A and B are shown apart, each in its own frame.
Chain A
């Protein structure tokens, strides 16, 4: 694990959720939950099935607006207008269900929605492919062809593509919702290495899991009764 932030003066949080609540018809998914994410730290989120973990990260990634409470990024309260807005503010999310385009190539999946452009509104495929290859190389995943369609990849490789997607956004905050759920032990190890690498670069990471062993392996902080209601 990387060193804890400079002793005493912990780095200021990039993200702060304060007393966030969210209800769905008939279900109170979140009741006054708070959370702080700091650069270079892995923050674990634990909770039983249905505890509201995914709901919390969907609020953070702009998918849902909270019913009550506040989202702060860099100390500023923000009302996220949607997923694209959260991405622009540097929050990348790997959702529990891998949300990919199985018929499109790896390069296109990585840059979908923010592809490099040429004149006349044309997508710059060459640059997309080159940068996608660079991102995958950073993850030690050069074995994945940028031209392969994502539907033909193994689950572990699909997840690497998702992480490359987050890197492409230059995310300062990376949220991972049960990323190891469908992975083999070997792929999970590779994922942990990647998480540590990103951490070392100063990315703030929120890591959701059921598996306590993972949490102990990765996390700098995990919720105590004072930080969450679980």
Chain B
């Protein structure tokens, strides 16, 4: 174990750079590519790298909103079901003959409304977010099955496949992931509202006393979560020529895993969306690596679980060092 204590006593900026979760994730990703690439060089072929990034681009987009929610000290476990519902809505609207732009846009607005209402329950009715979103999870998941009967949506219009488009040779979802991550990271770092999210998660009472309208901010963060879940839902819906109207298993857990492994403290108050995006890509890279080194994919979930525990232990350790430094 390197002497983190010594680092902590050093210059704060250097310390931040060395210990940042983003740096750790980037190193982990590079190490994985190197090691597995040495075992099987097709793993690091451009084609596979692209498919790794593509596989979790929509997860990364949803994890941006999830990270914001967790930073305020809340959580949303209904987001996977929401994405499933949005995909079905998107396909249904497109098959009704709506202009394709509207078929993409309306589900995003719907997501903002649904998540915003969840935010109202959390902020004003004071239902803990894990409970409120558990309710939404069941309602959305059950509602989807009642509505569609589990039938797939097929015969989608020619121009439906937003996620199948490529710009400059790069698939649209990867563009979305990169651009949205950069914008969200800049906004979280430099805007009053972004900083208010960190303040609320760090100490809600102090945030209120500093004059931050905490209830409105919580509604807002859930609306943003809806926005990103909505975009993720559209990317998810338009990646194939059919839409399966069941909620993908573990979807919300993968999104939350990306946020937590990305360094967003489950206690609120810290983390960045750059971290969550790097983690989303790392999770996809691990999935792909298991295939290339011929390990049963059943190990995937166990690997994710281990990563979560390691990250949280690391975070606690870091906090303890910080306490001791004072």
Residue positions of A touching B, CB distance < 8 A? 61, 63, 82-84, 87, 93, 95, 97, 99-105, 108, 112-115, 117, 121-123, 125, 145, 147-149, 151-154
Contacts and interface: CB of A to CB of B under 8 A. Distances in A.
A28 to B, nearest CB: 24
B326 A115 contact: no
Nearest to B265: A103
B84 interface: no
Contact of B190 (A123, A145, A148): A123
B155 interface: no
Contact of A82 (B8, B13, B203, B211): B211
27 contacts: A63-B209, A83-B210, A84-B210, A84-B211, A87-B211, A99-B203, A99-B205, A99-B206, A99-B209, A99-B210, A100-B203, A101-B203, A103-B265, A103-B270, A108-B195, A112-B199, A113-B199, A113-B211, A114-B211, A115-B192, A115-B195, A123-B191, A125-B190, A147-B13, A151-B322, A151-B323, A153-B326
B198 interface: yes
A93 B8 CA distance: 31
Nearest to B194: A123
B212 interface: yes
A91 to B, nearest CB: 12
Interface residues of B, number: 27
Nearest to A108: B195
A137 to B, nearest CB: 18
A147 B12 contact: yes
Contacts of B210: 83-84, 99, 112-113
Interface majority SS (helix, strand, loop, mixed), chain B: helix
Contacts of A112: 195, 199, 207, 210, 212
Nearest to B271: A103
B203 A152 contact: no
A194 to B, nearest CB: 20
B325 to A, nearest CB: 5
A102 B267 CA distance: 12
Nearest to A155: B326
A97 B205 CA distance: 10
Interface in B198-231: 198-199, 202-203, 205-212
A83 B326 contact: no
B233 interface: no
Contacts of A152: 8, 322-323, 325-326
Closest 5 CB pairs of A and B: A84-B211, A99-B206, A113-B210, A101-B202, A147-B12
Contacts of A114: 211
A121 B187 CA distance: 10
A108 B190 CA distance: 11
Given A83-B209, A113-B212, A101 B198 contact: yes
A103 B202 contact: yes
A115 B22 CA distance: 26
A123 B323 contact: no
B269 interface: yes
Contacts of B209: 61, 63, 83, 93, 95, 99
A122 B208 contact: no
B266 to A, nearest CB: 13
A15 B190 CA distance: 36
Interface in B205-264: 205-212
B12 A148 contact: yes
A93 B211 CA distance: 13
A122 B195 CA distance: 11
A117 B205 CA distance: 24
